[in-house]
Homo-oligomer: A and B are copies of this chain.
């Protein structure tokens, strides 16, 4: 039985040197930010959305004095082959000085892998899988167009390798963006589906830090505030896609998601939902936030026990306003139901079958996760059987 308090505060070593330039027309700072980093720029982006909203033209105009090479068509769940490899090749051939990532978390993640790969002589996969240590990286600046992953304020990236069904997380302090330009207006045109998935992604980032053995009053309060804010503002963003303040607050909540500021001194939970979801999107290339929304309530139900009960009670009372006078088990069950219903109310498909995943590879994925993700050390340890049960309950 883990006591609710006092918890043990863990040692930590934390730094986030990224400059956040936030707000309307913050893009005007772009030339000043880029100038000291060099003249030869790799402009990395995804599909046509940045052209549709006029951002592409704006960037080209502001950087008229720079020498721009382009890497486009970076896909969601960004691919090692071709995106990272193409980017690295361009950087080496054109002696790129700085990468400008314009887009969402996938473009930014891909850019981080390119940034280290460009300064490495061997196969960049060695770096991403920690077989070799990055010694240098190109500097990265980003202009964010999707509130979700928090990649704009962390030094991590997730890269998929289709041929091996690998979706690998890589953390390297050299890849902190130098500056992230965050103008909520660029997110006005994000679709309902992506807005909801981004909200679910960010909420799960918070939960992965909140549901753990050792926390503090401070961190619990920060996480609960972030969750309440994400729900309120996520809902507003769906109802009024051009509500500046809702888009802005959602963007900032997402930005805090993965750099650790929500949980300094907490013990590490193992990020179990991410570990499981990474296999889903590696095998089926589904939308990450949707996969997380599907997995989260099933994982919660699976780990609810006498040991974890108090955590779920705190979550239910402080995040969803459930009456603290109710029976603890009742509060916990209602909290899990409320989590499910919130995601559902955002229009997220809440069953794996709805996103094209049936039971045919559940066993294979459970095995892959159990072997690769270290969930035997998670907040609540998960065996291959546990993982299979969670996946099956999510069908």
**Interface set of A (CB-CB < 8 Å, partner B):** 6-24, 26, 29, 184, 216-218, 220-222, 224-226, 228-229, 232-233, 243-246, 248-249, 252-253, 261, 264-265
Contacts and interface: CB of A to CB of B under 8 A. Distances in A.
B19 A15 contact: yes
Given A14-B20, A221-B229, A261-B261, 9 more contacts: A11-B22, A12-B20, A12-B23, A15-B18, A15-B20, A22-B264, A217-B228, A220-B225, A221-B228
Nearest to A255: B264
A319 B331 CA distance: 23
A252 B264 contact: yes
A265 to B, nearest CB: 6
A7 B222 CA distance: 20
Contact of A217 (B24, B184, B216, B229): B229
A222 B15 CA distance: 20
Given A217-B225, A261-B261, A12 B7 contact: no
Contacts of A29: 13
Contacts of A224: 221, 225
A218 B15 contact: no
A221 B264 CA distance: 17
A319 to B, nearest CB: 10
24 contacts: A6-B243, A6-B246, A7-B245, A10-B23, A12-B20, A12-B23, A13-B19, A13-B21, A13-B22, A13-B29, A14-B20, A23-B265, A216-B245, A216-B249, A217-B229, A217-B232, A217-B249, A218-B249, A218-B252, A221-B224, A222-B222, A248-B265, A252-B265, A261-B261
Nearest to A225: B221
A184 B216 CA distance: 15
Contact of A20 (B9, B13, B18, B232): B13
A207 to B, nearest CB: 16
B252 A229 contact: no
A248 B13 CA distance: 14
Contacts of A222: 221-222, 225
Contact of A244 (B9, B15, B22, B221): B9
